[in-house]
Amino acid sequence: MDGKPVVVTGAGGFVGRALTAHFRETGRAFRAIVRASDTVAPLPPGVVAVRDLATATEAELDAIVAGATAVVHLAARVHVMTETATDPVAAFRAANVLATTRLMQAALRAKVERFVFASTIKVNGESTPPGHPFHPDDPPAPGDAYARSKLEAERELLRLAAGTTLDPVILRLPLVYGPGVAGNFLALEDEIARGHALPLGAIRNRRSVLGVGNLVEAIDAALDAPVAPRGVHFLADEESVSVPELTRAIAASLGVEARLRKVPLPLLRLVGLLSGRRAMIERLTGSLEADSSSFAAATGWRPRHSLAHGLVATARWWRLRHSI
């Protein structure tokens, strides 16, 4: 480590907090970029608040990346549980395409060496045939505005980096879990902890997941590989898991019983159709796997932490969260 900082955008989010904590523990210099709030408060050393990367001035962006050796770009607009934007497509493009492009341009001006971009498995689609995971050379098939904005950002990164000395590393991620997780995973954890019966027992699928501990070590590998793993790669834990297996594993980590009911899939899908949640049920029942072998071959990275290890850490955090 040469002492030059790694810029981490989205440092206030789930993955960003885990990554900066990891960097702090391992001694890697970093500059954490967080979203500015309307309240003014002193920030810790090494933390920079920016109101919006899409609208920040060039001078502000240049200051963010000045003297940095690499950028890890985690900041994004992700799936929104309750959409409030009047134009969601424009909101996704501003946060995920424009902000990424402008940050990449600043990195090029600063002669940053590597740009690690957190993308999504959904760039390739919402499902895979069982036993046929996505590979980096598979054609993209994004199914929503979020995934399309991530694909557009990826293409802009590769276009801007062409013919330069900056190495773009694009990591397409599946569901990431661990302490601090939010969204659907946290909702599932809450349901299991409360002992609610879940109609998931008849599902037979395979889904890739990624523990945040494995993810931060993969980012280390992307930063430290002697030859940068340029281009697109998938990341995932060692083994895929079915939804019932994941439910039972979460329950075991919490020390409770998994109450699974074997509701036939056609009935589940009918309920989804009638309730307006068809897409959610299709995602829940389908397979979605990714092959991370290209990244492993390029960097030597292997996911060290098992699903059980990651879920125990998540359960410990969940208990602390609910004891407050």
Other Cβ atoms within 10 Å of 45 Cβ, number: 6
Cα–Cα distance measured from residue 136 to residue 207, given in angstroms and rounded to the nearest whole number: 17
Q: Label residue 81 by pLDDT band (50, 70, 90).
A: low
177 is annotated as an active-site residue: no
- Output b/e per residue, 243-280; b: 16+ Cβ within 10 A: bbbbbbbbbbbbeeebbbeebeeeebeeebeeeeeeee
Give the residue-averaged pLDDT of 153-169: 97
What is the band of 46 on the pLDDT scale with cuts at 50, 70, 90?
confident
Question: Residue 289 corresponds to which amino acid?
Answer: E
- One of 30, 146, 234, 295 is an active-site residue; which one? 146
Q: How confident is the model at residue 1 (pLDDT cuts 50, 70, 90)?
A: very low
DSSP string, 101-158: HHHHHHHHHTT-SEEEEEEEGGGS-S---TT--B-TTSPP---SHHHHHHHHHHHHHH
Encoding tokens for residue 13?
A: 């989010």
In which band, very low, low, confident or very high, does the pLDDT at 2 lie, cut at 50, 70 and 90? low
Q: How far are the Cα atoms of 185, 241, 292 from residue 307, in angstroms, in the given order?
A: 14, 9, 16
Contact status, residue 145 vs residue 232, Cβ threshold 8 Å: no
Q: Smallest Cα–Cα separation from 185: which of 277, 311, 18, 27?
A: 311
d(CA 219, CA 22): 10
Whether the pLDDT of residue 42 is over 80: the answer is no
Q: Which residue has the higher pLDDT, 232 or 274?
A: 232
Say whether pLDDT at 40 is over 70: no
Main-chain dihedrals φ then ψ at residue 172, nearest 5 degrees: -90, 120
- pLDDT bucket at 82, cuts 50 / 70 / 90: low
**pLDDT tens-digit series, residues 95-142:** 999 999 999 999 999 999 999 999 999 999 999 998 899 999 999 999
pLDDT digits (tens, 9 = 90+) for 278-309: 888 888 899 999 999 999 999 999 999 999 99
The structural domains of the chain, ordered by start, are: 6-180+209-238+289-304 (3.40.50.720)
Beta bridge partners, 49, equal 34
| Residue 41 clears pLDDT 80, i.e. is over it | no
User: Which two tokens mark 219?
Assistant: 């980012």
